[in-house]
Chain A
Amino acid sequence: MAIWRTLRLLVAKTAVRSTNWISLRTRRGSGTVIGGTVGLAIAPGLLEALAAHRRVIVVSGTNGKTTTTALAVAGWGGDVATNDTGANMPAGLTAALVRSPSPRAVLESDEGWLGANVEATHPAVIVLLNLSRDQLDRASEVRQIAERWRAVFATAQSRGAVIVANAMDPLVVYAAFEAVNVRWCAPPTTWTADTMSCPRCTAPLHRTEERWWCACGLAQPSASSYLDGTTAVVGGERFEIPVSLPGSFNRGNALMALTALAEVGVDVRPAALRMASVDEVAGRYGVRRIGGQVVRLLLAKNPAGFAAMLESVEGEGDLWVSINARVADGHDPSWLYDVPFEVLCGRRVRCLGDRRLDLATRLWYAGVDAYVDEGPPVIEDRVVDVLANYTAFSDLLKESQPC
C-alpha cells in the first residue's frame, strides 16, 4: 500500500509540474494554480506530503500577506519555498512546494482557507496580521472569519504551532485568545471601523491611544514585539529595522515577519538587514512608466488597505487612482465610502478603471478635485503615485513598462 501511495504522490507531483508548464507556455495562466488543482485531484494528500519535514511559516490576514511573506522569505535568506504570486489557497501552496524542495517554507494563506492550509502544512509558526472588511459580496463578513480562525486554533494541528498575532486588532485577539502559544505583536494599526464593538460580546469597545479593552474582559494583550520609531523590539532584543518599503504599516509587517523568524531560530538582526533588500513585492511599490509618465504602483484592495496607503502618499500634486469591480475585486464598490479620501483635499485625482465614475462621485462628495476621461494626462517631471485595487493593479502592471 505504501508503494501505491508513493507512486500516486509521484504522479501527482509530475502532474503539477507538467500542467503548470503547459499553462505557462500556452499563456493560459500564470502556472501556479491549475497544476496544484490537478495534483490535489490525483492525490488529495499531496500538500500534506509536500509540507512534511519542512519548517513552515504560514501568513494570513486581510492586508499585508504578500508583503509580509516576501519580507519573511528575504529575512530567512537562502532558498525558501514560497507562493510569491499570491495564489494562497491549497492549490497555490501545493504548486509552490512542488517548485522548491527547500526545507524552509513561508506560505501566505487566504483568510478563509487558513484552516485547510494549516491542517495540511502543520506550520511551526502562524502569523495573523489583521482582519477587516474586504469583498463582502463574495467573502464572509469579517466576524465570521474571526470565528472560523478561532475554530482553527482549537485543533490539534495548530497546537504545536506558535501563533504570532497582532495585539492591536481586537478581531485577531479574539480569534487567537484561546491558542496556547502566542507571541503578541504591536504593529502600527490605524483601522478600527470593524471593531467599534467587541468581537466577543458586541458591547462598545473602549480605546485610548495606548490600548483597547471591553467590559467583558477581552482586552489588548501586552506585546513582546513592538516598534520604537525605526527600532524594533522582538523578545527583549532591540535593533534597527531599515525597511525600504514605504509606510508605517510595512514596518509593522517587518516586525511580524521578524517575530515569526525568531521562532524558527533565525537571528533577527541580520534577518532585518536582509529584509531591507525588498523594495518591490509582486510589482507593488515598483517604479514604472505608463505612456511618458513615471509612476509608482501601489496596491490597495479594501478600506483598511486604502487608509494605510493614503498615509504613505502624503505630498502634493496629482495622484492617480484606478478602481475596478470585477470578480477578484468584489462586484460592489460601496466600500469606497469607507475610505477616508477626505485626506486628499487640496490634491487632484485622476480617476481610472472600470468604476472611475463611482470613484469620481465619491471624491466629489469628499470635496476632492477629481477628473475623469479627459484624455492623456500632462506628463509631470516626478514620480506620480498610482493607487489601484486588485484587477486594476494587474491591468496597470501589464500596460506599464519598467523604467
Chain B
Amino acid sequence: MLRIVQVYPELLGTYGDGGNGLVLKERARRRGIDVELIRADMDDPLPAGDVYLLGGGEDGPQRLAVALLEEAGFSRRVANGAMVFAVCAGLQMLGSRFSVQGDDEYVGLGLVDAVTTRAPSRAVGDLMTTVGASTMVGFENHGGETTIGAGVEPFATVVRGRGNDGRVDGFRAGRIWATYAHGPVLALNPWLADAVLAESLGLSELAPLPSVADRLYESRCRALTKRSAD
C-alpha cells in the first residue's frame, strides 16, 4: 500500500496544490497499484506515509505549518526514508530560514541547507525549467529568493521565470524534492508525477499511462517555448 499524505491542506493549499495528491493517487490507482491518499488535518496526529506533499500557503498559515510539523516529528519521518514533494511555501519551509512578511526571519524545518529571503519583487508567471533531459512547465507566484547551500543539488535549471533566483529552481536532497512551480504541477507534467511515484515505490520505471494530460503537457511546452523565444 502506497500512502500519500497531503500535509495540512487547510494551511497549505492556496493554489490548487491538493491537485498533486489527486494526480499521484490516480496515476497509481489506474496502474493497479494499491494506494491511499490521506489528508493530514492540523488537529490530528501526523499520519504515517510513504510520500508527504507540501503545498503553498499564505504567510501566517505557512509559519503555523512549520510549528505543527516540528511538533509532529516530521524530520524523523523523513530521516526514516519517507519521500517529500514540496511546492512554493512548502519549499521555503524545508529550508533552514525564511523571511516572508517584512524582514522578520523565521526558522524553517532545517531539512535542507536553503535560506529564503524576501525578493525585491514578486515572481508571478509561467515557470519553465529543465530537469535533466526533461522539460518542466508550471506557474509560480511567490515573493521569495532562495539560496541553496554549496552541497545541495538544485531541482532544475530555469529557462523562463525565477524559481529560486532566476538561474535554478528548488532542490533535490535525497528523497526531498522541491520546486517553486505551485499548484498541480504534477498534473501539468505527467512524467514528473510518474518520477515521484517511481521514486516513492523504489521502481526504476512505470508502465505507460496515456491520457489527455500528455496533450496538455505538450501544448504547455509549445506555448512556453514559443514565448521564451519571443
Contact = CB atoms under 8 A, between A and B. Distances in A.
Interface of A: 133, 136-138, 141-144, 193, 196-197, 202-204, 331-332, 334-338, 357-358, 360-362, 364-367, 370, 372
Interface stretch (B19-27, B70-78, B147-155, B166-174): B19-27
B15 A332 contact: yes
Interface string B1-25: 0000000011101111111001100
Given A334-B139, A360-B215, A366-B22, 17 more contacts: A136-B14, A142-B58, A196-B10, A202-B11, A202-B61, A332-B139, A334-B15, A336-B19, A337-B184, A337-B187, A357-B216, A360-B212, A362-B184, A365-B23, A365-B26, A365-B213, A372-B215
Give the residue among A141, A336, A337 with the most B Cβ atoms within 10 A. A337
B92 to A, nearest CB: 15
A141 B212 contact: no
B60 A143 contact: yes
Contact of B16 (A144, A196, A338, A360): A338
Contacts of B219: 357
11 contacts: A193-B13, A196-B9, A202-B61, A204-B42, A334-B16, A334-B19, A334-B139, A334-B184, A337-B187, A365-B22, A370-B212
Contacts of A141: 14, 58
A361 B141 contact: no
A370 B213 CA distance: 12
B124 to A, nearest CB: 5
B26 to A, nearest CB: 5
B226 to A, nearest CB: 14
Q: Which A-B residue pairs are the 6 nearest by beta carbons?
A: A334-B183, A196-B10, A337-B19, A337-B16, A334-B16, A357-B216
Given A137-B139, A204-B42, A332-B141, A361 B61 contact: no
Q: Chain B interface: which size bin? A: 35 or more
B11 A332 contact: no
Nearest to B219: A357
A337 B212 CA distance: 16
Given A202-B60, A204-B42, A361-B216, A137 B141 contact: yes
Nearest to B183: A334
A337 B64 CA distance: 24
B182 interface: yes
B183 A337 contact: yes
B43 interface: yes
B42 A197 contact: yes
Contacts of B213: 361, 364-365
Contacts of A144: 58
B10 A133 contact: no
